Amino acid sequence: MATNTWTIISGVLLIWAVGATVGLAYYYQNSQSQQIIIDNYKSVIGDVAIKVNLGIDYGNGTTVWKNGTYVPVGFSLLNATLKAAQVNYTVYSYGTWVNGINGVFENVAQNTYWVYYVWSNNKWEMGPVGADQYILNNGESVKWVLTKF
């Protein structure tokens, strides 16, 4: 009788081991297929969208970052800022001027204005053109700063 019990237990364990192995092989193969789908999806996203890091420095020691923000290829800094924050701006013949971000406005009497900086060569450099003309690049970091002149 004892031999019969051990035979049954051994059979159950064998069936469990084979089933677990088959299950693991199935899930491994399925995960590899999903990774291929994810990789293909990333390549498609790369054709239509880029990821940027957008900072907003309110000039009072508070900086808020919107890291990993996806925007369409060809988006300007102004468009990305409009996507990430509430922006007040004025359109002039020479370009667009940002007056306020998230309810914090420039103050002409105190000589404070919204200026953007681009992380380049391991330092922050003032933006070379207006925000509506600056086209973002994948992986780029850009920061708006309420700057006093």
pLDDT digits (tens, 9 = 90+) for 14-68: 888 887 787 777 777 766 666 666 666 555 555 688 999 999 999 999 999 999 9
Predicted local confidence at residue 4, as pLDDT: 78
Reduced 3-state DSSP string for the chain? CHHHHHHHHHHHHHHHHHHHHHHHHHHHHHHHHHHHHHHHHHHHHHHHEEEEEEEEECCCCCEEEEEEEEEECCCEHHHHHHHHCCEEEEEECCEEEEEEECCEECEHHHCEEEEEEEEECCEEEECCCCCCCCECCCCCEEEEEEEEC
Mean pLDDT is lowest, of 4-8, 38-42, 83-87, 90-94, for: 38-42
User: Considering the domain 49-148 in this protein, what is its CATH number?
Assistant: 2.170.130.30
For the stretch 120-144, pLDDT in tens is 999 999 999 999 999 999 999 999 9
Residues 4-22: what's their mean pLDDT? 81
Mean pLDDT, all residues of the chain = 88
Closest CA to 133 of 75, 65, 93: 75
Predicted local confidence at residue 43, as pLDDT: 56
Predicted local confidence at residue 111, as pLDDT: 96
The model carries a pTM of 0.69
The one-letter code for the residue type at 135 is I
For the stretch 105-118, pLDDT in tens is 999 999 999 999 99
Between vectors from CA 113 to CA 108 and to CA 118, what angle results, nearest 5°?
A: 165
Predicted local confidence at residue 55, as pLDDT: 97
Predicted local confidence at residue 36, as pLDDT: 64
DSSP SS3 for 19: helix
| Pairing relationship of beta strands 49-57 and 87-92 according to DSSP bridges | unpaired
Q: Greatest CA span in the chain, whole angstroms?
A: 98
